Amino acid sequence: MYLTRSSEIHRVGFVSTRFKGTDGVSLETGKWRQVLERMGYDCYFFSGLSDWAPDKSMVVEEAFFGHPLVMDIQERCFGVTVRSEGLTGEIQAVRFRLKQALYEFVAAFNIDLLIVENALTIPMHVPLGLALTELIAETGIPAIAHHHDFAWERQRFSVNCIEDYLSMAFPPRLHTINHVVINSEARQKLSFRCGLSSIIIPNVFDFDSVPPRMDGYGRSMRKDLGLAGGELLLLQPTRVVARKGIEHAIELASRLKGRKAHLLISHQERDEGSEYFQRTMDYAELLGVNVIVRPDIIGAERGFTERGEKKYSLWDCYLNADFVTYPSTYEGFGNAFLEALWFKKPVLVNRYSIFQRDIEPLDFDVVVMDTYITPETVDTVNAILDSPEGVDIMTAKNFELGKHFFSFSLLEQRLRQVLMNFGQL
């Protein structure tokens, strides 16, 4: 049985495969951390890759989904329906080592509550999910499973040889776990498929903070990206993966005749392989669109390269953008959408299912496409680009709606609801 020094929760341990960079899980975890610390909790972190607070972190390399051993195991788990005895042994060996490390993490930082970020949701790291499930079952430690992407939402996980492990740990059915999802569709599917209840906590943003303003440092970014004066910069603030629908942004750029539109893709990560990246670049060349992917000078924070050149942040990308494209075919929620609202940028959104159910009814003033770009879509974007005053009115309205529905105050309110289930507050 799990015992704490106090019946109250004071120390929260976040667990994920990585806490680094600008992926959606890391960004959202950072927001939870801010709010929980503001509420008086101490936060600690277990992961396989991290650039967060070393004095409060335990980094175990095998916990990272990109570790060579883990990648080899994952490769053999999917696309086949029978696993070998040897593969089972390898999975169990990594599971055992990770479980021991998790026990050490809980003991070292005297953790009262675990918050598992997506590691009990999407099977990107099967041994870690098994290790976490066993730890929680063996200790009875209170836990929040924060679900961003379920296995059934990704076609590549549909054929596998680990159905027993998926049923056990993705997600687990344990009485000490409270499940949190980020949209209403996930809540419905979790109940239907697993018989588990959950609370919705959508992705949020700190709308009470003031967005950075353009300064001398950021003003040189366009020149460093190769843009001339008066040319149009479209921003695709995502990774290069197929469900982001980047080909639609490329088509839009090609159809904005006479504006010399360039498309900047902010994130270099290609977690789902390089085939789509190459297809994207080939399509851009076919349509004559300049697609800019510059991980050498765009990172999580400002700084300088080894050659002494400026390195720009994601915020610099937004500040320099004239228009944001977000033509995803599927999203768990949509961090980039909230970022565009915060920076008061006009945005194009594809009507992916979660947008239709959870966001569109809130009456945001955005350019909407439904599956593909139409002449009407292009006309609307052109009209917006020709009306700076209209942009100001549109984006001011969107900012206020974002502040009302997706702020840190909402996150704090929902977290208090979850913590009440553990007898807190």
Give the separation between CA 418 and CA 398, rounded to whole angstroms.
29
The closest alpha carbon to 245, from 372, 118, 145, 344, belongs to 372
The Cβ-side half-sphere exposure at 111, using a 13 Å CA radius, reads 29
The closest alpha carbon to 121, from 13, 44, 194, belongs to 194
pLDDT of residue 274: 82
Q: Where in the chain is the domain with CATH 3.40.50.2000?
A: 11-204+408-420, 216-405
Averaged pLDDT of the chain: 93
List the 261-265 sheet strands across, edge first.
290-292, 261-265, 232-236, 323-326, 347-350, 367-369
pLDDT of residue 354: 92
CA 224 to chain centre: 28
pLDDT of residue 148: 93
Give the separation between CA 281 and CA 293, rounded to whole angstroms.
10
Q: Which one-letter amino acid corresponds to residue 72? A: D
Give the separation between CA 34 and CA 54, rounded to whole angstroms.
17
Q: Which one-letter amino acid corresponds to residue 346? A: P
Stated pTM of the model: 0.86
- Per-residue pLDDT tens digits for 260-279: 999 999 987 655 668 889 99
CA distances from 56 to 30, 34, 42, 193, 371 (A): 14, 14, 9, 36, 44
State in words which class domain 11-204+408-420 has.
alpha beta
The closest alpha carbon to 344, from 402, 300, 409, belongs to 402
The mean pLDDT of 208-218, rounded to a whole number, is 95
User: Are 367 and 349 a contacting pair, CB within 8 Å?
Assistant: yes
| CA terminus-to-terminus distance, the chain | 23
Q: Which of 7-16, 136-145, 262-271, 285-294 has the lowest mean pLDDT?
A: 262-271
In this structure, the number of other CB atoms found within 10 A of the CB of residue 14 comes to 26
- Per-residue pLDDT tens digits for 35-66: 999 999 999 999 999 999 999 999 999 999 99
pLDDT of residue 34: 96
Give the separation between CA 237 and CA 22, rounded to whole angstroms.
10
Q: Put residue 245 in one of left, alpha, beta given phi > 0 → left and psi -120 to 50 → alpha.
A: left
The mean pLDDT of 21-48, rounded to a whole number, is 92
CATH fold of 216-405: Rossmann fold (3.40.50)
